[in-house]
Chains A and B, each alone.
Chain A
């Protein structure tokens, strides 16, 4: 699993080293035998979010080919395990407290109000909680934003200085 190792010194907000999220590493593991871990409905739900094609399209061709798709399969299984770990009351949805635990389990240290913002942005079902596929998308966007922030934070102090143009380019490349 890929580790997101952004670290900010001291007690400032940021992402501790060693945090791990399901990797975007398509090592060729193919689960073609449909072991039943992912049901058809779960897969459909996971893929109903139109962002999947963008996320897995490595060559910017606005679609995924077969080998990229098999990577999707493994990736979803990994995420399903993560989701089950944090959906402590087994409701099938992640509420704000479970989300806080999940993100701090990944190593993020974020303010309390941030979790409200995240839920508002990704809660497609409008229930104040996050479903499986929305949870994945939220985590991925958070990871990519953290990655791009880290790239600009050359002295690793948890601060970046950006021009208007840089700011727009950063954001539009991710959300």
Chain B
């Protein structure tokens, strides 16, 4: 593998020594960007999911769109690094709640997890989220990650519009639909 001469090559000193770059470069094409498929492979190879099952493709699509600021449908290495750090944090979090190492948490544990992540949500809001993501009353690691990605993306889109920081936003129809569909 040619690190030095690769297209989309090192963006900062020491990047080529970054072990993450190895995983990234192994799947990235000529453009130095990865799409959801490649991300799935990358994450699986890197073992970020730890003992848990690797992410399904839909979750990977969500992750790409979470960081896809230029709407290209792909992510570059810097975004990948950002994603990695975030995923690690979320995984640590999940582990702390999955005390029996079953690979799943129940809705109450999800609520606690979201609260400690800093999301201030009413029990009803958490309930509708938990219902959306549970299978047989439990939430798997993959679904938990999908939930966190969506929460983060939606929170970002809300915050960007809440310029007065009042916790309230006025949405016109078109913008509302676009916001939700972009997640």
Q: Is the CB of A165 within 8 A of B176?
A: no
Q: Is the CB of A168 within 8 A of B129?
A: yes
Segment among A18-26, A69-77, A111-119 that sits at the interface with chain B: A111-119
Query: In the bound complex, what is the Cα–Cα distance between A166 and B172 (angstroms)?
Result: 15
- Tell me which residues across on chain A come within 8 A of B124, comparing CB atoms: 169
With beta carbons under 8 angstroms apart, the residue of A60, A62, A121 that contacts B181 is: A121
- Tell me which residues across on chain B come within 8 A of A62, comparing CB atoms: 135-136
How distant is B49 from chain A, measured CB to nearest CB, in Å?
A: 20
Query: In the bound complex, what is the Cα–Cα distance between A126 and B74 (angstroms)?
Result: 12
Evaluate whether A114 and B174 lie within 8 angstroms (CB atoms) in the complex, with A145-B180, A164-B167 already known: yes
Chain B residues touching A, range: 35 or more
Evaluate whether A172 and B176 lie within 8 angstroms (CB atoms) in the complex, with A117-B181, A120-B73 already known: no
Given contacts A149-B176, A167-B154, 19 further A-B contacts (CB under 8 A): A13-B174, A62-B136, A113-B178, A114-B177, A117-B178, A121-B182, A126-B37, A141-B181, A145-B177, A146-B177, A158-B173, A161-B170, A163-B168, A164-B155, A165-B125, A167-B158, A168-B121, A168-B155, A173-B132
Residue pairs across A and B with Cβ atoms less than 8 A apart, 18 shown, are: A60-B131, A62-B136, A114-B177, A114-B181, A117-B181, A120-B73, A142-B177, A145-B176, A153-B173, A159-B173, A160-B176, A161-B169, A162-B168, A165-B121, A167-B154, A172-B125, A172-B132, A175-B150
Interface on A for B, CB 8 Å cutoff?
8, 12-14, 60, 62, 110-111, 113-114, 116-118, 120-121, 126, 141-142, 145-146, 149, 153, 158-165, 167-169, 171-175
B116 contacts the other chain (CB 8 A): no
